[in-house]
Chains A and B, each alone.
Chain A
Amino acid sequence: MAECYPRVLETERLRFEPLHEVDPQEYYRFRRDQPPEVYAYLPFEPPETPREAADTLASAREDWDGRSRAMYAVRPTDGEDAGELAGETMLATQWDRRVAWLGLILGKRFWGRGYSGERADAMLEVGFDRLDLEYVAVVHEVGNENSRRAVERYVERHGGRREATLRHWAPAEGGDPPDEAYHAVPREAWETRRGP
C-alpha cells in the first residue's frame, strides 16, 4: 500500500526508519540511558518503565497511520556507531495550514556532528517535495543554545528565518511555560536555494 511518509530515508551519514518499528527494548534503553542534558529542554521525563516506552512507540504508529506525524529512528550508517539508535526525529503535518513541524531528540553521544542539519535537509525535502507543504516550521526553547545554533544554521541555509519569540506557546505544566523561538522556512526560499 502506498504510504504518505517515506518508509526509509538515507542521507550521507544517516538512515531513517519508522520509529514504531524499533525494538521496544532498544528504544527504552536509548531513552532511559540519556544524561539529564538531553531532557533539559524536553517537555517530558525519561520513561520509567519499558511499558511507557512501548506506549510511545504505539502512539508513533498511530500517528504514522493517521498521517498526523512521522516519527523516525535515526541511525548512523558508517563508522563505529553504524546501525546504532542515535535519536528520533519528527515531521508533523498540519495539513489544513500546509505546515510541517520538525522536532529532534539526539542521544548525547551524537551531539556536535551536524546530524541535526543533515536530518533537517532530508525532512525539508519530504515536507516540500513529497508532501507539497508551504512552510517548514520549528520551535526551540529560548536558552537552549545547542538547539539554537543547529536550528539557525539550517534555517538560514534554506532561506528561512526566526520569525517570532513566543510566550505561553507550550502547555503550562505547572509554572510558566518557557519562551519559544519560532523559525519558518518558506517553500519558495527553499526552492530558490535548491536551484534547478
Chain B
Amino acid sequence: MSTEPHASLFPREVTTERLRLVAADAESVDPLELYEHCREGAPHVDEVTRYLTWGPYGTVNEAFEFLETCESDFESGDAAHYAVFAGENEPEAGEFAGMAGLSPDWDRRLATLGTWLRKRFWGRGYSGERARALMRVAFDRLDLEAVVVTCHAENEKSRRAIRKYVEAAGGREEGLLRNHTRYRDGVADSYRFTVTREEWAENLGQAVEADPNAGTDG
C-alpha cells in the first residue's frame, strides 16, 4: 500500500545526479520568478523560446495561468510538468533551471517528453539527464511502450542533444514530419525520435543511475 497521502499517477519529485525535478505549481515555483525568466525582454528569452511552442510572457498573469495548468494536468493525470532545479552539488544549487514535461498518450501507450532550459544551463547535458530520468518514469512506473521526442526541424542544437540520448537508449531518429507542430512562430516541420520499451530495457533499464525514487511507492 502506498503511504503517500495523495497518491498520484506521476512521481511528485524526481532526483538525478545533478538535478531535482519537482511537479510545478504556484508553490514549487514562484510565479513572479518564472515571469522574470520568461517575460518579454528577459535575458536570452528569445533564444530560449525560438523553437518552442510558446513565446515570452506579456503579463505576470500568464505565469500564474501556466502554473495552474501544470497543477491541474498533474492532478488529472493528463501530463506531468516538472520545474527543473539545479541539484545541491551544482554551482547554482537550488536555482530554477527550466521546465521538463511528460505527456502520456494512453491510447498509443507512449509518452512524449519535452524540455526547455535557461540559457546559462545549456551545454551541460542536463537535457539528457532529465530525459533518462523521465524515460524511467514512462517505462517503469507508467508501463508505457514507447517514448517520443520531437524537435523543430531547424533546431540543430536540440536535434544533436536528443539524438545523443535517444541513441544511447537504443532508440532512433525516425524522420521528418511535415507541418507537424505549431511552434511559437507558426506551424513547422519536426524531427521525430522514438525509444521503445525493449530498446530502453536493453540499454538503460538495468542502470542504477540515480533513481532514489525507486521503491517510494512500495
Seen from chain A, the residues whose Cβ lies within 8 Å of a Cβ on chain B are 96-99, 134-135, 137, 162-172, 176-177, 182, 184, 186
Given A164-B192, A167-B146, 11 additional A-B pairs, CB 8 A? A97-B179, A98-B187, A99-B178, A99-B179, A137-B178, A162-B175, A163-B175, A167-B196, A169-B108, A172-B145, A182-B175
Residue of A97, A98, A99, A171 ringed by the most chain B CB atoms within 10 A? A97
30 contacts between A and B (CB under 8 A): A97-B179, A98-B179, A98-B187, A135-B178, A162-B175, A163-B177, A163-B178, A164-B174, A164-B175, A164-B192, A165-B174, A165-B175, A166-B174, A166-B194, A167-B146, A167-B196, A168-B108, A168-B109, A168-B110, A168-B148, A168-B194, A169-B108, A171-B107, A171-B108, A172-B108, A172-B109, A172-B145, A182-B175, A184-B178, A186-B178
B196 near A168: Cβ-Cβ < 8 Å: yes
Cβ of B184: which chain A residues have Cβ within 8 Å of it? Answer: none
B182 near A177: Cβ-Cβ < 8 Å: no
Residue of A nearest to B148 (CB): A168
Distance of A177 Cα from B146 Cα, bound (Å): 11
Choose from B108, B176, B182, B194 the contact partner of A170 (Cβ within 8 Å): B108
B177 near A182: Cβ-Cβ < 8 Å: yes
B12 located at the interface, meaning its Cβ lies under 8 Å from any Cβ of chain A in the complex: no
Total A-B Cβ pairs within 8 A? 57
Cβ of B174: which chain A residues have Cβ within 8 Å of it? Answer: 164-167
Distance of A74 Cα from B59 Cα, bound (Å): 54
Residue of A137, A167, A172 ringed by the most chain B CB atoms within 10 A? A167
Distance of A97 Cα from B194 Cα, bound (Å): 22
Number of interface residues of B (CB under 8 A): 19
B145 near A96: Cβ-Cβ < 8 Å: no
Cβ of B145: which chain A residues have Cβ within 8 Å of it? Answer: 168, 172, 176
Known: A168-B145, A168-B194, A172-B145. A177 touches B179 (CB 8 A): no
Distance of A166 Cα from B180 Cα, bound (Å): 13
Report the 5 A-B pairs with minimum CB-CB distance, sorted nearest first: A164-B175, A168-B146, A184-B178, A97-B179, A135-B178
Seen from chain B, the residues whose Cβ lies within 8 Å of a Cβ on chain A are 107-110, 145-146, 148, 174-180, 182, 187, 192, 194, 196
Choose from B107, B176, B177, B194 the contact partner of A167 (Cβ within 8 Å): B194
Distance of A99 Cα from B180 Cα, bound (Å): 9
Shortest distance between the CB of B63 and any CB in chain A (Å): 26
Distance of A182 Cα from B175 Cα, bound (Å): 9
Cβ of A169: which chain B residues have Cβ within 8 Å of it? Answer: 108
B187 near A164: Cβ-Cβ < 8 Å: no
Shortest distance between the CB of B56 and any CB in chain A (Å): 22
Shortest distance between the CB of A110 and any CB in chain B (Å): 30
Cβ of A163: which chain B residues have Cβ within 8 Å of it? Answer: 175-178
Cβ of A171: which chain B residues have Cβ within 8 Å of it? Answer: 107-108
Cβ of A137: which chain B residues have Cβ within 8 Å of it? Answer: 178
Shortest distance between the CB of B16 and any CB in chain A (Å): 25
Cβ of A96: which chain B residues have Cβ within 8 Å of it? Answer: 182, 187
Cβ of A134: which chain B residues have Cβ within 8 Å of it? Answer: 178-179
Distance of A134 Cα from B178 Cα, bound (Å): 9
